[in-house]
C-alpha cells in the first residue's frame, strides 16, 4: 500500500484497539472509513470484515426535529441519563448542510458539552461529503465500528428538514421526532412524511407555563397520528412530553424505546427491518459503484460528451443517446 499515510495504524492495531474500546483507535478507524484514499478504503474494508461479527448488538436511535426544538439539549440529557444506567452511548450526526458547505449546523461538538466529556459517551460530528448518499454510507459504517467497540446505544441526530430523515430512518431501529407545543405542523416545518416515519413523538420544553399547551399539543398529535397509516411493526406510536432543560420525561423516552424493542423483537419486525435496511444499503452501494465506474471510464466520458452535443442540438433523442452508451 504505497499511498498509505505514514501515521496510519495497522489493521491489527485497529482491530485490537476497537476490541478494547479504545476511543482514540475508534476515532482513527472512523477517519479511515471516511477517507477517499484508495489505501484507506482498502484498509477500511478489511477492518469492517474483521469487526462485522461483533456488530449489531446496539439499539440504534434516530432523532430529528426542526432547528431550535432542543435536539442537542435533549441528547445531552438523554445520553447522560443512559450513561447513569450503565450504557455506553455514541452520538453521530447527519447534517445535510455538510454536503453543501464546509461548515455544518449540527456537527458542532460544543453543542453537547457535558456529554462530550463523559467517558462513556462518544460524539462524532457529521462526515463531510459530496452527496447525502456518501455521508449516509460512512455513517452506517461508523455505526458498525461503534458497535464493535462496545457502544450499546447509537444515537443518530439529524435536522428536520427533509431528505436526511429518510437516510437516517434507513439506518436506525427507532426514530424519534421532537416537537414543540404551539404552532401547527406547518409552522414547525415538519412534513407529514416525517411524522409517518416516527416511532415516537416527544414534545419538548414541556415545563412551567408550557405544560398545559404541551398537553393540548399531545392530544392534537395523537389525533393526527390516527389518520396516518398503521405502523409496519404493529406498534402504536406514542406521544410523550419532556423538558430537556429540566431533565424531565427523559427516562420515559428510554422506556418507550425499550418497549418498542420488546414488542418488535417479539413480532419479528425488529430483525426484518434491519435485514431490509441492509439489503437496501447494498443496492445503494451497487448503484453508487456502477455510476462511479461508468463515469470514470475515459471512453465513456468521451462518448457522453459527443452525445451531449447531439442531444443538446436536438439531433438525437435522449433514449437513443443512452442506448448508444450501452451497446
Site residues for ligand GDP per CB under 6 A = 65, 67-73, 204-205, 207, 243-245
Q: DSSP per residue over 286-306, as a string?
A: HHHHHHHHHHH-HHHHHHHHH
Smallest gap from Cβ 7 to ligand GDP, in A, equals: 34
The C-alpha atoms of residue 277 and residue 233 are separated, in whole angstroms, by 14
Smallest gap from Cβ 62 to ligand GDP, in A, equals: 14
Smallest gap from Cβ 182 to ligand GDP, in A, equals: 12
Give the DSSP H or E segment for 169.
helix 163-169
Q: Select 19 or 207, whichever has its Cβ closest to ligand GDP.
A: 207
Q: Select 19 or 108, whichever has its Cβ closest to ligand GDP.
A: 108
Place of cell 418498542: 260
Smallest gap from Cβ 93 to ligand GDP, in A, equals: 10
Q: How many CB atoms are closer than 10 A to CB 193? A: 11
- Cell digits of residue 199: 416511532
Q: Select 211 or 303, whichever has its Cβ closest to ligand GDP.
A: 211
Alpha helices in 7-90 (DSSP H): 11-19, 23-34, 38-51, 71-84
Smallest gap from Cβ 159 to ligand GDP, in A, equals: 8
Q: Select 8 or 71, whichever has its Cβ closest to ligand GDP.
A: 71
Smallest gap from Cβ 28 to ligand GDP, in A, equals: 28
Q: DSSP per residue over 52-108, as a string?
A: GGG-S-SEEEEEE--TTS-HHHHHHHHHHHHHHTT--EEEEEE-GGGGTSSS-SS--
8 A C-beta contact, residue 81 and residue 75: no
Residue nearest to ligand GDP (CB): 70
Q: Select 29 or 69, whichever has its Cβ closest to ligand GDP.
A: 69
Q: Select 29 or 121, whichever has its Cβ closest to ligand GDP.
A: 121
Amino acid at each position: 500500500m504505497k499511498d498509505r499515510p505514514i501515521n496510519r495504524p495497522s489493521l491489527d492495531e485497529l482491530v485490537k484497539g476497537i476490541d478494547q474500546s479504545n476511543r482514540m483507535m475508534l476515532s482513527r478507524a472512523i477517519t479511515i472509513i471516511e477517507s477517499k484514499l484508495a489505501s484507506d478504503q482498502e484498509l477500511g474494508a478489511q477492518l469492517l470484515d474483521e469487526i462485522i461479527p461483533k456488530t449489531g448488538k446496539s439499539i440504534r436511535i434516530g432523532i430529528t426535529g426542526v432547528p431550535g426544538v432542543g435536539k442537542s439539549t435533549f441528547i445531552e440529557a438523554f445520553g447522560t441519563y443512559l450513561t447513569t444506567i450503565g450504557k455506553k452511548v455514541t452520538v453521530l450526526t447527519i447534517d445535510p448542510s455538510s454536503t453543501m458547505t464546509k461548515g455544518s449546523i449540527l456537527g458542532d461538538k460544543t453543542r453537547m458539552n457535558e456529554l462530550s466529556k463523559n467517558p462513556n459517551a462518544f460524539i462524532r460530528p457529521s462526515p463531510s461529503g459530496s452527496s447525502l448518499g456518501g455521508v449516509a454510507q460512512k455513517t452506517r459504517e461508523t455505526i458498525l465500528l461503534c458497535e464493535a467497540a462496545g457502544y450499546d446505544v447509537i444515537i443518530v441526530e439529524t435536522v428536520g428538514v427533509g431528505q436526511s430523515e429518510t437516510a437516517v430512518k434507513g439506518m436506525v431501529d427507532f426514530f424519534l421526532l421532537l416537537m414543540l407545543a404551539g404552532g401547527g405542523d406547518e409552522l414547525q416545518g415538519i412534513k407529514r412524511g416525517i411524522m409517518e416515519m416516527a416511532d415516537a413523538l416527544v414534545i419538548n420544553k414541556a415545563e412551567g407555563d408550557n405544560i398545559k399547551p404541551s398537553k393540548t399539543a399531545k392530544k392534537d398529535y395523537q389525533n393526527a397520528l390516527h389518520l396516518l397509516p398503521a405502523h409496519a411493526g404493529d406498534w402504536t406510536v406514542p406521544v410523550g412530553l419532556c423538558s430537556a432543560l429540566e431533565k424531565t420525561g427523559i427516562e420515559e423516552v428510554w422506556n418507550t424505546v425499550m418497549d418498542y424493542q420488546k414488542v418488535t423483537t417479539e413480532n419479528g419486525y425488529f430483525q426484518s427491518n434491519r435485514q431490509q435496511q441492509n439489503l437496501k444499503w447494498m443496492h445503494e452501494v451497487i448503484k453508487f459503484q456502477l455510476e462511479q465506474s461508468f463515469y470514470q471510464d475515459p471512453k465513456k466520458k468521451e462518448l457522453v460528451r459527443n452525445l451531449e452535443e447531439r442531444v443538446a442540438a436536438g439531433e438525437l433523442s435522449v433514449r437513443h443517446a443512452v442506448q448508444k452508451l450501452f451497446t
